[in-house]
Amino acid sequence: MSAPPCLSAKGVSRRFDSGMALDHVSFAVHAGEVHCLLGDNGAGKSTLIQILSGALEPTGGDLFMDGEPLQLASPREARDHGIATVYQDLALVPLMSVARNFVLGREPVRRFGPFAVFDAAAAGRLAREALDRMSIEVSDVDRAVSTLSGGQRQCVAIARALHHGARVLILDEPTSALGVAQSAGVLRNVRTARDQGVGVVLITHNVEHALAVGDRFTVLERGRSVLSVVASEATREGLQRAMAGGRSLDAETQRGRPPA
């Protein structure tokens, strides 16, 4: 690919008192591609995305945006650079309407002299348009978020992040708590975002979900990058073996089993 990746990390490390959480990891996402970040619990996935989203500073290594060096002091700075992160808790307020959640922190206002009045109609319109653009089915944007299904909530959070001008979308385990049908809905959104030219970082430990949408795959294991492949080279077994640190799931489950 000729254009530099829209967001990349070169040799980033993060040392905690307890040890190296991330050890010289390189990672890049291009515009219009889904880069899946796989790994077991404690592999360093969340440390890496915290660094990419400005929540954590690396103790070594560099970040680049469009090939230019990038310093991120806070999540707000990351957001200003167009890096949006949807964490597992989604940052949606359950008792508030979809529309009010959609504009939370960036409410549209109408000015009357010195007074700024919250423009509820505009909030509803923005939410409606953004959801329609992603083909997300929510019957009424005035409904409380708590009335939505888990999949719908995830989709609303994704649509909100994109609506606010994200160029890079980081999704933290978006399908981990969802059933098959709802996961499919969320993955469809991921594809839509990619097709709109957004660089998507999809964190998951579900290989099936990764293979369904991924263009590129990186596997972390104990803080190090152990595999980085493009879609044409990725196989279910290869990814799974890398995630398990070279051990295969079948072999692990067979171990210690009484002979048949």
Partner 1 sequence: MGRRWVATPAFGAAAGCALVFAFFAIFAADSGMWSARGIVNFLEVSALLGILAAPVALLMIGGEFDLSVGSMVGAVSIAIAIPAMEWGWPLGPSIALGFAFAAAWGGLNGIVVVRSGLPSFIVTLASLFVLRGLALGVTRWATGRTQIGGLKEPLATASVAPLFSGEVAEPLFSALADAGWMATRVDGAPAVTGLPVSILWWVAAVALGAFVLFRTRFGNWVLAAGGDARAALRCGVPVDRVKIALFVATAASAALVATLQVLDAGSADTNRGLQKEFEAITAAVIGGCLLSGGHGSILGAGLGALLFGTVQMGLFYTGVDSDWFQVFLGAMLLGAVGFNRFVRGRALA
Using the rule CB under 8 A, give the single segment among 92-100, 129-137, 204-212, 227-235 that binds partner 1.
Answer: 92-100
Nearest to 200 by CA among 226, 166, 229, 153: 166
Contact status: 3 vs partner 1 (CB under 8 A): no
Q: Does 113 bind partner 1 (CB under 8 A)?
A: no
Among 76, 133, 191, 236, binds partner 1 (CB under 8 A): 76
Interacting span for partner 1 (CB under 8 A) from 84-92, 127-135, 171-179, 230-238: 84-92
Cβ at position 166, least distance to partner 1 in Å: 14
- Residue 28 CB, nearest distance to partner 1 (Å)? 26
Backbone angles phi, psi at 111, to 5 degrees: -100, 130
52/168 Cα distance (integer angstroms): 10
The verdict on 74 binding partner 1 (CB under 8 A) reads no
CB of 89 to partner 1, least distance (A): 7
Maximum C-alpha span of the chain: 82
CB 213 within 8 A of CB 202: yes
Distances from the Cα of 258 to the Cα of 21, 74, 249, 251, 255, angstroms: 37, 53, 17, 14, 9
133 touching partner 1, by CB under 8 A: no
Residues 176, 204: contact at Cβ < 8 Å? Answer: yes
User: Which residue in the set 104, 122, 212, 244 belongs to the binding site for partner 1 (CB under 8 A)?
Assistant: 104
- Does residue number 245 form part of the binding site for partner 1 (CB under 8 A)? no
Query: CA 149 to CA 127: how far, in whole Å?
Result: 17
Q: Tell me the CA end-to-end span of the chain in Å, nearest whole number.
A: 52
- Binding partner 1 by CB under 8 A: which of 146, 196, 235, 248? 146
Residues 24, 13 contacting (CB under 8 angstroms):
yes
Q: Is residue 144 involved in binding partner 1 (CB under 8 A)?
A: yes
Smallest distance from the beta carbon of 107 to partner 1, in angstroms?
4
Taking CB under 8 A as the binding criterion, the range among 63-71, 143-151, 193-201, 236-244 that sits at the site for partner 1 is 143-151
| Residue 20 in contact with partner 1, rule: CB under 8 A | no
Q: Is 122 in the site for partner 1 (CB under 8 A)?
A: no
Q: Is 212 helix (H, G, I), strand (E, B) or coil?
A: helix
Q: Which residue has the tokens 């104990």?
A: 222
The site string for partner 1 over 174-203 (x = CB under 8 A, - otherwise) reads ------------------------------
| Count of C-beta atoms within a 10 Å radius of residue 94 | 12
Residues 195, 185: Cα–Cα separation, whole Å: 15
Q: By the criterion CB under 8 A, which residues form the site for partner 1? A: 75-76, 79, 87, 89-96, 100, 103-107, 109, 116-118, 120, 144, 146-147
